[in-house]
Amino acid sequence: MTLAPYLLAAPLVLQACGGSSSTTPSGSSSQLPQVDDNGGGILTAPSIVTVTFDPSLYANAKSPTATTMISDLQTFDDTITQSAWWDTVRAGYCEPLKSANCVERGTPLDPSVGHVSITAAPAATYTDGASGSSTTLQTYISGLFAANTLPAPTASSLYVFYFPESTVITFDGSETCSQIGGYHNSVPVGSLDVPYVIVAICDPEQTAQATPALTVEQTATFAASHEIIEATTDPHAGKTAPTNDPTAYLGFYMTNVANQAWPLVLGGGEVADLCVDIFGFGEDRTTSGGYTVQRVWNNLSAAAGHDPCVPIPSGEVYFNVAPPAADDQLEIAVGSIRDFSSTPFTDGTMASWQVEVVDLGQNANGAQSTVLTTAPSKGTASDGSPVACSITLNSAPPVQQGEQQGDPGYEPYAIISVNSAGVYHMWPGIVVAAQ
């Protein structure tokens, strides 16, 4: 739902599974999960309205300049739902599943309607949230509709706001630029619940060593692509309906309790959240029409045992290591160890690769957590040859950000696979303390 980096402050201490080393045969085996259709609707042909502010407010836009960047962002929004990237990431997202009511190419608007430039500076701060109650940002947006500054919405409308860095929006406690780069939500306008995207024009986020940083404009289009596809497949962002059913408006989101390690570790269960590169190596990036965009989870690709994050890099052989179906959410007594056998799989022929288990938690100082330990030696994996792994719970897992006091804590971990070229894939999991 929100786009936020999840970069470990300390170097990863990659610890262990043991396995065999060999050249892998071809043959895929997949337990990759599906993003669930929760019945909350989709935008079948989104019509994007791009909302920008005076160029002088985008002081951090240098190359290109703010004026050029605004023009580029308008072109990006006008064309992204007509692109090959869009055709790839939207495939299979139909509601109901396998019906003819699917996400299609968007309907471009004439620039006189689809490009809105607001000369008055926005406020320095706003609040927003997913609860469905009125917020200061939604009051501001409602005022823009009332003043006819924004064109009247239709059932296909999607409004994309590019706020300057000088405006800080706090969404459910997280601030733009310092904690999140963007999010999507919806606001009542007449009889419609209208989806909107917020993209903060932030300085580029931290990346891992040797990974090229993005420009301000690339950061913006990357965030916009993430939020546009999510606002299309989950347009109401799970907002609470008048019935008080918290999932009444939830669209495509990974809600199956058996798969909750994925959204908990990756920071969300929408289609773009599930492909965020939490280590900052740029493996979630691709390009479309010269613009930087994000790779997105695709159910069809996942079901076939291929890389679930599309578009798939040309020539890629996908590889990963899957724990037993019940063991990506481990219940372990404090001080005890859990042994489990995991299954490597590929969708083609490739050499064996390194496989390791990592505690993804952080302590109060931002250093890597020591709540979990694993076997001391690193190992290799090959297609179909079981890998023996173990995790010890050293102390009670902490309550994570976003949980309430009194909720049971959990510790995130991942089985990480890395090939000889340095490409990695991971299978996330969580550990809770046995009661």
Residue pLDDT, tens place only, 57-111 = 999 988 899 999 999 999 999 999 999 999 999 999 999 888 899 999 999 999 9
Domain count, the chain: 2
Pair (355, 405) in one structural domain: yes
Average pLDDT over residues 309-314: 98
pLDDT at 366: 73
Tokens standing for 78? 């006008």
DSSP run (H or E) holding 358: strand 353-359
| Distance (Å, whole) CA 226 – CA 270 | 10
| Distance (Å, whole) CA 153 – CA 292 | 28
Residue position matching structure tokens 């939207």: 90
Average pLDDT over residues 292-301: 97
Average pLDDT over residues 331-358: 94
Among 301, 327, 355, the domain-final residue is 301
Pair (225, 372) in one structural domain: no
Upstream peptide bond of 164 is cis (omega within 30 degrees of 0)? no
What SS3 string covers 292-316? EEECEECHHHHHCCCCCEECCCCCC
Q: Does residue 393 belong to any structural domain of this protein? A: yes
CA neighbor of 432 nearest in space, from 360, 321, 334: 334
Pair (47, 89) in one structural domain: yes
Q: Classify 332 as helix, strand or coil.
A: strand
Pair (327, 420) in one structural domain: yes
Lowest-pLDDT choice from 49-53, 132-136, 403-407: 403-407
CA neighbor of 51 nearest in space, from 127, 130, 149: 149
pLDDT at 402: 64
pLDDT at 21: 41
Average pLDDT over residues 143-155: 98
**Phi, psi at 29, each rounded to 5°:** -140, 120
Q: Which has the higher per-residue pLDDT, 166 or 14?
A: 166
pLDDT at 131: 76
Q: Does residue 209 belong to any structural domain of this protein? A: yes
**Phi, psi at 106, each rounded to 5°:** -75, 170
First to last CA, the chain: 32
pLDDT band at 112 (very low <50, low <70, confident <90, very high): very high
DSSP run (H or E) holding 47: strand 47-53
Pair (206, 190) in one structural domain: yes
User: What single letter denotes the amino acid at residue 197?
Assistant: V
The answer to whether 199 and 163 are in contact (CB under 8 A) is yes
Q: Which has the higher per-residue pLDDT, 368 or 273?
A: 273
Pair (390, 250) in one structural domain: no
| Distance (Å, whole) CA 155 – CA 310 | 27
Mean pLDDT taken over the chain: 88
pLDDT band at 423 (very low <50, low <70, confident <90, very high): very high
| Distance (Å, whole) CA 270 – CA 77 | 20
Pair (222, 351) in one structural domain: no
User: What single letter denotes the amino acid at residue 419?
Assistant: N
pLDDT at 212: 85
pLDDT band at 206 (very low <50, low <70, confident <90, very high): confident
Q: What is the pTM of this model?
A: 0.92
Other Cβ atoms less than 10 A from the Cβ of 7: the count is 16
Pair (72, 209) in one structural domain: yes
Confidence check: pLDDT of 33 > 70: yes
pLDDT band at 382 (very low <50, low <70, confident <90, very high): very high
Among 301, 330, 361, the domain-final residue is 301
CA neighbor of 262 nearest in space, from 27, 35, 20: 35
Around 107, how many Cα atoms within 13 Å sit in the side-chain half-sphere? Answer: 11
Q: Does residue 313 belong to any structural domain of this protein? A: no
Tokens standing for 170? 């706090």
pLDDT band at 406 (very low <50, low <70, confident <90, very high): low
Confidence check: pLDDT of 292 > 90: yes
Confidence check: pLDDT of 18 > 90: no
- Give the domain extent around 201: 36-301
CA neighbor of 8 nearest in space, from 339, 365, 402, 326: 365
Helices and strands (DSSP H and E) totals, the chain: 7, 27
pLDDT at 169: 98
pLDDT band at 19 (very low <50, low <70, confident <90, very high): very low
Pair (106, 197) in one structural domain: yes
Tokens standing for 67? 């004026």
pLDDT at 20: 40
Q: Does residue 310 belong to any structural domain of this protein? A: no
Burial class of residue 145 (count of CB atoms within 10 Å of its CB; 0-12, 13-18, 19+): middle
Pair (294, 409) in one structural domain: no
